[in-house]
Structure 1
Amino acid sequence: MIKRAKKLTLSTFVQTEVTTEDADRASRVQLANGSEYFITPVEQLDFEYDEVLGAIQVALPVRFNLYPIVMDSKNVPWAEANIFLLSKIKNSLKVVMSTYTSLASDLVAYRQFLDESEINWIDFPKNKLNRPTYRYRAYLKMLIETDEVAVTTARRRMGSIIAFYRWLHAEGVLIPEFPMWKESDHYIELKNQYGGHYSKHVKSTDISIKSINSNNPYADEIDDGGQLRPLSIKEQKWVLEALLSLANTEMTLIHLCSLLTGARIQTILTFRLHHVFTEIDNPNLFEVRIPVGPKTGIDTKNDKKIVLHLPLWFYQKLHTYALSQRAQKRRQKAVNGDSEDQYLFLSTRGAPFYQSKEDLHRFNKDFSLHHAKTGQAVRQFITEKVVPFIRQRFDAPNFNYKFHDLRASYGMNLTDAQLELVSHGERSLHEAREFVKIRMCHESSATTDLYLQYRSNLKLVRSIATEYDQHLVRLAQTELEVDRS
């Protein structure tokens, strides 16, 4: 069996340094050969909250959960890569470990290339095409051409390796005989959320992988935090019928929450019990507004503060579910038990479907997982249960969807309803646009416009395609008639 470089994830990690026996907080480490040495935790300044004093600066051990380690093909930690990772993490104001896990994966991919190609990663000869950076770029380009990796993935990997070598050079660890790449300065023109233009100075290298942004306004997807496909009303009915037939209460409520509010998966799955614990019975109220984002206990993309608008009937469904024996049994099995701060949605074993940023940031010495919970169970349920059910029940062999498509479906449902009001003169187009923008929590009106234009663009494409197909049919029939004569 061929051994390859790989990434290990440590459930817990505490940085230490070698010290003497009489040092403060020294711990003895006994090796298998009988020798021993002493270590002490490495500390750095951080902030803790005191009920009396508020936020105070204290020295805390450098410690993390779900810490990634880069291993080479000999199953030995790659020292330089791991020190680079640690320096990046320690210099981050707020550690999001998934970011560094991705960086570790990029370093592993590079190490695999080096080991399998037998390339010395610190040797930069005169011929630039033999330098490891240029050879890796050529390798990534080949993977792109053979459709083994996406352009965006290759671009990110190359960027990670450039950052790695920049750090090595800045730290004085690597002073290559010949340049690692050719660098140049230039300015790029950008547009802010208000439509204003500004320039940004960037450094570019000749080994960077360029990707051309080609947003196609006539595609059947919308670029809204990813390429999303709004489900048609018929497809939405298919999904709901499948969920009801599969009889999984949690998955049904999670899907409905996205279809009714446009919330992303991390927002829905980090709802807490106290957010739906208040009983509301007001006949004049038709929706319940729930603030989400920082300091609410509910995560949002980019920590943005927004407000979700839940239909009253759906809020009451969530309230009923929260009080049900089914939900209570799950909470009793969970860490921190049946408390108001517990996640609303839990697995049968009491595990969260998604761990909040706050929970992941908080160090837990008893942490036993080797990966973060980020909604994998929901995606697996869609792939293994919902999609196969729909394909078989409705004879739709090509049907597929991602959970995030439900957000786009909500956006299109909202847009269609607003445009209907515009067509009847009950609302101006500007008012419709602003309403959709606020409900979808878009920072840029340009994203909202994608929803407003989606139906007409798709209709135009299908109309042109149909006309062109009919034109080809007429041409083919004419040629066939000529041949027969």
Structure 2
Amino acid sequence: MARLEYVCLPLECCVVEGGATRFVAQEIVDPRTRLKIRVTADRIPELLWATGEFWSEANLWFLSRARRMFSGQLKEDTIVANGKDLLAYANWLERAGMHWWQCHPRDDQRPLNLYRGHLVRSYEQGVIAPTLASRRMTTLKSFYRWLLSEEILSPGFPLWSERNVRVAYEDVFGFRRHIEVVQTNLDIKTAKRVGEASLEEGLQPVSLEVRDAILDLAHRRCSHELFLMLSLGFWSGLRLGTVTDLKVQSIENAVQIHECAALKHISVGPLANPPVKMKLSQSSDGIVVPTRLLEYLLDYSISLARGKRVALAKPEHKHLLFLTIKGNPYGRGKGDRSATVNAEMSRLKRLARQEGLNIDDFTFHWSRATFATMWARAARANGHLHEFMPTLKRMLAHKHDRTTERYILWVEKEQVRATVMDEFTRTMFGPFYQVAGAPDA
């Protein structure tokens, strides 16, 4: 089977001076310090066939996309996802005994068309998600377009047919707009669910009973670091990428909320002091954290257990609040993923099954949804749900109002569902319960 390898790539540009050619490291200007810093790509994929030979064309495409990463046009996680998509295509090509450059006179015999059919069958059988099938085909179209633009394939190479269509959408202000897009016969359309209130990134909240059970299990049988991270997720709504990038000074700089001794504000984002990673480079000084939890975190920051990890850490990582047992950061790159946390979460789920608790679908990000819906329910119970929305938006560091409104809509629909179910129970089973609960004669 084909395989992926990852390389750390310092980007350099070629400079010709006085007839001599040399390579100069690419640098960018830090917006905070105004200093030039050298940039590297930590995880650029390289694709190899089952024979061990490099897929040179694909690797050149990854390199060209890596150069766009430092201009802000692409993220490293996107390039990593592109590598996984081409890996799936390469494995399919080897199983089918076909080559990526084959050109058959008939459409239904070309690799791209056949692979599209394979993706459609895969998601119809539940092997992969429809969105993944659509993304893989989109990646392949981008790759083949690049092959044509670089003249690796001849301009007349038949790939797909195209047509221009107008797609309607609503802007951030709620106005209906149209945009011209190009569709191909290889596109895989994924049906959208209508009528269900969905939260950001497909998150799902857990009940308060399940939340408490998860925290109790993590406290008893998992690492203290995982327990504190989950506590931050459930009680502050922070994403995993932000939690793993928190600094000790971030906790020390917490500000008391006026007339609320039980809660404090911390600042996160690239503009915070010290800066803490946030999705979409958002910054917020309105992240709410319980004072008691902050006290636990401050105690942990000066504990002997953390001190042993700090002693093994590199100088640039010693200020992080959470470090692995080897002194490394929990976070990886710029995304919200952590291989170490994922391993601990898998162990948490395994331990939960041993104790009769089913949290197999639970992910760290569900703690964020639990936090948001908990606040929305409290605001609704006091009759201030919609008035509370700007505060909730600030607490979650959302960029758009519409993202926060999803939580408001979700809580309102959950209340309607609960009311209807209660009424149904009283109507259908009320007499049964009355008879069952009557005292013996």
Counting only pairs closer than 5 Å after superposition, residues 387-398 of structure 1 correspond to structure 2 as 387-393=349-355, 395-397=356-358
Could you report, residue by residue, the CA deviation over 1:13-34 in whole angstroms, capped at 9, with x for unpaired residues? 67799x9xxx96xxxxxxxxxx
**Residue in 2 aligned with 1:362?**
none
Tell whether 2:298 aligns with 1:298: no
**Residue in 1 aligned with 2:378?**
417
Tell me the number of residue pairs that the alignment of Structure 1 and Structure 2 aligns.
421
The alpha-carbon deviation at position 200 of structure 1 amounts to: 1.9
Q: Report the residue type matching 2:217 in the other structure.
A: A
The residue matched to 1:431 in structure 2 has which SS? coil
| Bigger mean CA offset, 430-439 vs 256-265 | 430-439
Unaligned runs of 5+ in 1: 25-39, 358-371, 474-485
Tell whether 2:393 aligns with 1:437: yes
The residue matched to 2:315 in structure 1 has which SS? coil
CA distance in 2, matches of 1:281, 1:469: 46
The alpha-carbon deviation at position 143 of structure 1 amounts to: 1.3
Contact 1:194 1:444 in 2 (8 A): no
Tell whether 2:216 aligns with 1:241: yes
Change (3 A) 1:128 1:430: same
State the TM-score, normalizing by the size of structure 2.
0.84
The residue matched to 1:141 in structure 2 has which SS? helix
**Residue in 2 aligned with 1:114?**
93
| Larger RCO (CA within 8 A; separation ≥ 6) | 1
The alpha-carbon deviation at position 374 of structure 1 amounts to: 2.8
Tell whether 2:322 aligns with 1:349: no
The alpha-carbon deviation at position 346 of structure 1 amounts to: 0.7
Contact 1:15 1:63 in 2 (8 A): no
Of structures 1 and 2, the larger Rg is shown by 1
The residue matched to 1:186 in structure 2 has which SS? strand
Counting only pairs closer than 5 Å after superposition, residues 276-291 of structure 1 correspond to structure 2 as 276-277=251-252, 286=261, 287-291=263-267
Contact 1:169 1:175 in 2 (8 A): yes
**Residue in 2 aligned with 1:477?**
none
Q: CA RMSD for the aligned pairs? A: 3.5
Counting only pairs closer than 5 Å after superposition, residues 300-315 of structure 1 correspond to structure 2 as 300-307=278-285, 308-315=287-294
Contact 2:204 2:370 in 1 (8 A): yes
1:402 aligned residue (355, 363, 373): 363
**Residue in 1 aligned with 2:204?**
229
**Residue in 1 aligned with 2:152?**
173
Counting only pairs closer than 5 Å after superposition, residues 76-95 of structure 1 correspond to structure 2 as 76-92=53-69, 93-94=71-72
Contact 2:8 2:40 in 1 (8 A): no
Q: Report the residue type matching 1:71 in the other structure.
A: L
The residue matched to 2:181 in structure 1 has which SS? strand
CA distance in 1, matches of 2:257, 2:401: 34
Contact 2:324 2:330 in 1 (8 A): yes
Change (3 A) 1:134 1:41: farther
2:405 aligned residue (438, 445, 449): 449
Unaligned runs of 5+ in 2: 430-441
**Residue in 1 aligned with 2:343?**
380
CA distance in 1, matches of 2:32, 2:10: 28
CA distance in 2, matches of 1:388, 1:434: 39
Change (3 A) 1:124 1:470: farther
Change (3 A) 1:165 1:328: same
Contact 1:144 1:154 in 2 (8 A): yes
State the TM-score, normalizing by the size of structure 1.
0.77
The alpha-carbon deviation at position 330 of structure 1 amounts to: 0.7
CA distance in 1, matches of 2:371, 2:163: 45
| Bigger mean CA offset, 116-125 vs 62-71 | 62-71
CA distance in 2, matches of 1:44, 1:382: 39
Contact 1:285 1:312 in 2 (8 A): no
Tell whether 2:169 aligns with 1:190: yes
CA distance in 1, matches of 2:158, 2:256: 71
CA distance in 1, matches of 2:26, 2:12: 14
Contact 2:331 2:338 in 1 (8 A): yes
1:458 aligned residue (399, 414, 418): 414
Change (3 A) 1:164 1:41: farther
The alpha-carbon deviation at position 263 of structure 1 amounts to: 0.8
Tell whether 2:78 aligns with 1:99: yes
The alpha-carbon deviation at position 55 of structure 1 amounts to: 4.9
The alpha-carbon deviation at position 379 of structure 1 amounts to: 2.7
Could you report, residue by residue, the CA deviation over 1:71-129 in whole angstroms, capped at 9, with x for unpaired residues? 12211111111111111111331463222111111112112222221223223222111
CA distance in 2, matches of 1:192, 1:210: 22
The alpha-carbon deviation at position 280 of structure 1 amounts to: 7.9
Counting only pairs closer than 5 Å after superposition, residues 207-226 of structure 1 correspond to structure 2 as 207-217=186-196, 222-224=198-200, 226=201
CA distance in 1, matches of 2:386, 2:425: 37
CA distance in 2, matches of 1:294, 1:279: 17
